[in-house]
């Protein structure tokens, strides 16, 4: 029923979305078990011999692999921006998953929102697991790897909070996010029609994420 309604709205040129925001307190005792921990493995399905690689340079050969595989994403343009990293998961020589991390600004494209994260905070976004590797716990393991790495960093900031979002309809993604230790703290609903945009529930983000900027031509915030 809901799916049919959304299809009708889309056909009428109306975009209606609901995004769930999650937060993780990285200083909380017990946060982020090592990715290889058996407790990370739903039904022990996590593949053996996972490798993680961090792309933090435009000269990294794996960045070219990503750009060739997903040219529409224009990953090379992200990498020349400040405070951007990409974590990838490798199984042998195969790219299984990736996730981007920023400690500065990021656009939540699903709801046309520009976010500014504060000092000591990080935002994980644009996460993707290839279809043939889904359902094996790779997503939550990747998130825990990112958290574990940033917990150890002391320069230029100590990191104490991580944020991530998912569409409310993406139950598999939400399950992986919760398994990695994140808790829901806000839900933003977005309505876009022609040049008109309306956001519901954005005010609760500003206190947590420092700055929220709206991108719509006619922008309205609502509780």
Res. 88: pLDDT tops 80: yes
Give the residue with greater pLDDT, 18 vs 154.
18
Q: Look up the CATH number of the domain holding residue 155.
A: 3.40.630.30
Q: What is the DSSP letter of 204?
A: H
The DSSP result for 76-91, as a single string, is HHHHTSTTEEEEEEEE
- Cα–Cα distance for residue pair 163/185, rounded to 1 Å: 10
Q: Please, what is the average pLDDT of the chain?
A: 78
User: Vertex 214, ends 210 and 216: CA angle to 5°?
Assistant: 175
The residue range of the domain holding 51 is 2-222
- Cα–Cα distance for residue pair 4/12, rounded to 1 Å: 12
Three-state SS at 117: coil
Q: Phi and psi for 103 in degrees, rounded to 5?
A: -115, 20
pTM (global) more than 0.85: no
Q: What is the DSSP letter of 42?
A: G
Res. 108: pLDDT tops 90: no
Q: Which of 79-88, 137-146, 204-213 has the highest mean pLDDT?
A: 137-146
Res. 37: pLDDT tops 80: no
Number of domains in the chain: 1
Give the tokens for residue 162.
């991580």
Q: What is the DSSP letter of 180?
A: T
pLDDT tier at 221, thresholds 50, 70, 90: very low
CB atoms closer than 10 angstroms to residue 32:
22
167-196 burial, b if ≥16 CB within 10 A, otherwise e? eeeeeebbebbebbbbeeebebbbbbeeee
């Amino acid at each position: 029923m809901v799916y049919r309604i959304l299809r009708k709205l889309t056909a009428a040129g109306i975009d209606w979305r609901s995004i769930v925001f999650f937060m993780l307190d990285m200083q909380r005792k017990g946060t982020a078990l090592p990715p290889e921990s058996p407790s990370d493995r739903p039904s022990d399905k996590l593949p053996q011999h996972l490798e993680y690689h961090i792309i933090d340079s435009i000269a990294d050969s794996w960045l070219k692999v990503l750009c060739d595989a997903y040219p529409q994403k224009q990953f090379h343009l992200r990498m020349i921006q400040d405070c951007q990293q990409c974590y990838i998961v490798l199984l042998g020589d195969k790219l299984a998953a990736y996730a981007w991390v920023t400690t500065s600004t990021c656009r939540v494209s699903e709801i046309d929102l520009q976010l500014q994260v504060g000092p000591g905070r990080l935002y994980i976004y644009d996460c993707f697991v290839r279809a043939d590797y889904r359902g094996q716990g790779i997503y939550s393991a990747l998130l825990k790897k990112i958290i574990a790495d940033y917990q150890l960093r002391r320069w230029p900031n100590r990191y104490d909070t991580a944020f991530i979002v998912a569409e409310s309809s993406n139950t598999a993604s939400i399950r992986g996010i919760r398994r990695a230790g994140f808790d829901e703290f806000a839900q933003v609903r977005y309505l876009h029609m022609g040049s008109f945009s309306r956001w519901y529930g954005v005010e609760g983000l500003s206190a947590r994420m420092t700055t929220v900027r709206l991108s719509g031509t006619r922008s309205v915030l609502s509780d």
